Structure 1
Amino acid sequence: MAANQMNGQANTFESTIGGITLSGKANSLSAWFVLALRLMMGYAFLYSGVDKILAGGFDAQGYLVGGAAASGSPLVGLFAWMGQTGWFVEFVNVAVPWGEVLIGLGLLVGLLTRLAAFWGAFMMLLFYFGNWDVAHGVINGDFAYMLVFLAVAAFGAGRILGLDALVERYEVNGKPLVERYPKLRYILG
């Protein structure tokens, strides 16, 4: 299998934060790996959400009250409050399985990819602190998945064989949607 050669600035990326500029060049195979990350996380979240819904009776209270305490989480007080607050537990009981389904679907079809990846990263951050397994250091699977979600968002993975590419090009009064409404770039891509 031959890889395409890089041509011009097409595979160059650059970012400046706090006065520090980083730049690099992506390999021509990078799009395939970004797509693979998006599809992998989409499948994982869709499967997890559907499994919870089909099993019925998903109840996060035990996890919120006992899981964080058992793991020694630094946010044990926050998790205990969440698990002892009735309305919040009811919200989480719906938000977790259906959030996983919606995030998974969004990533699989590449629609509202940045929005889906943001919420996926947020959920993984909460799971990171809830599970708090740092026996082998502070980087664990939940933390790694959070970074994968952030990479999917940063690389605009929804533009690679995704519906976001079509939505961004959709014209309103002769102008592409994202040019007419630039803030859509924060949720598409």
Structure 2
Amino acid sequence: MFIEFLRTNRYVSYVLAIIRLYLGIQWMKAGWGKIVSGNFDAAGFMQGALKQVSGSHPAVQPWWGVFLKELALPNIELFNTLVPWGEFLVGISLILGLFTSFSVLMGLTMNFAYMFSGAVSTNPQMIILGIFILIAGINAGKVGADRWVIHRLFPEKKSVEYMAKSA
């Protein structure tokens, strides 16, 4: 019942737009700060996470430590590009309401990656808000560019037809 409410209520789309704007600004600022500083390096963060893998109750799970040690750190230059640009583009996309579901999914993926690495910060609140947007689906982008773009890309989708008629 609540999920259907999130997905179909016309007024909820405005609340979701506010949440989307908030998340978008947070992501955009985080990414832009890393881009303009020109010296972003995720290696220290990842090495710090690896230090938290040991002990009887590790803050970072061993399987995630293997990922960081074997995949992420050897490819640190790729991650040093993906992280700031990923944050920035997720932010812009959420602000515009463009490809909202995909963007929030990518934002949630980053939030979980940071939490897996032992950084709590604002990630839990961003995850909760992001989940509302993700569950709402097309309704979360109704007050945004998705209203026109998704309708043009996928005219056969009934949910998009509903979106176009109900706004």
TM range (shorter): 0.7 to 0.9
CA shift, 1:165, in A, is 0.1
- What is the Cα-based RMSD across aligned positions, in Å? 3.0
Task: Report if aligned partners of 1:109, 1:163 keep a CA contact under 8 Å in 2.
Answer: yes
CA shift, 1:28, in A, is 6.9
CA shift, 1:79, in A, is 2.3
Answer yes or no: is 1:49 the counterpart of 2:25. Answer: no
Amino acid at match of 2:87: E
Cα deviation digits, residues 85-140 of structure 1 (max 9, x gap): 1xx2111100000001110000001111111111001000101111255xxxxxx7
Task: Report if aligned partners of 2:31, 2:83 keep a CA contact under 8 Å in 1.
Answer: yes
Partner of 1:109: 96
Structure 1: distance between partners of 2:7 and 2:34: 41
Structure 2: distance between partners of 1:47 and 1:96: 13
Q: Could you say which structure has the greater relative contact order, defined with CA pairs below 8 angstroms and 6 or more residues apart? A: 2
Partner of 2:48: 66
Q: TM-score of the superposition, structure 2-length normalised?
A: 0.75
Amino acid at match of 1:148: L
Partner of 2:77: 90
Amino acid at match of 1:130: S
Partner of 1:81: 70
Equivalenced residue count is: 150
Structure 2: distance between partners of 1:111 and 1:158: 7
Identity among equivalent pairs (%): 24
Task: Report if aligned partners of 1:110, 1:158 keep a CA contact under 8 Å in 2.
Answer: yes
Cα deviation digits, residues 124-167 of structure 1 (max 9, x gap): 0101111255xxxxxx742331232222122131112x000011
Q: TM-score of the superposition, structure 1-length normalised?
A: 0.67
Q: Secondary structure at the match of 2:60?
A: coil
Structure 2: distance between partners of 1:24 and 1:48: 28
114, 118, 129: which one pairs with 1:148?
129
Moved more, 116-125 or 23-32: 23-32
Q: Secondary structure at the match of 1:47?
A: helix
Unmatched 5+ stretches in structure 1? 1-10, 15-22, 134-139, 171-176
Instruction: Go from structure 1 to structure 2 and tell me whether the alpha carbon gap of 1:28 and 1:166 turns closer, same or farther (over 3 Å shift).
Output: closer
Q: Which is greater in Rg?
A: 1
Cα deviation digits, residues 36-92 of structure 1 (max 9, x gap): 11000000000111100111111101111223424731133322334531xx21111
Task: Report if aligned partners of 1:111, 1:163 keep a CA contact under 8 Å in 2.
Answer: yes
Instruction: Go from structure 1 to structure 2 and tell me whether the alpha carbon gap of 1:84 and 1:178 turns closer, same or farther (over 3 Å shift).
Output: closer
Q: Secondary structure at the match of 1:179?
A: coil
Structure 1: distance between partners of 2:134 and 2:60: 27
Unmatched 5+ stretches in structure 2? 53-57, 161-167
Task: Report if aligned partners of 1:68, 1:132 keep a CA contact under 8 Å in 2.
Answer: no
Task: Report if aligned partners of 2:6, 2:135 keep a CA contact under 8 Å in 1.
Answer: no
Instruction: Go from structure 1 to structure 2 and tell me whether the alpha carbon gap of 1:25 and 1:178 turns closer, same or farther (over 3 Å shift).
Output: closer
Structure with greater helix share of residues = 2
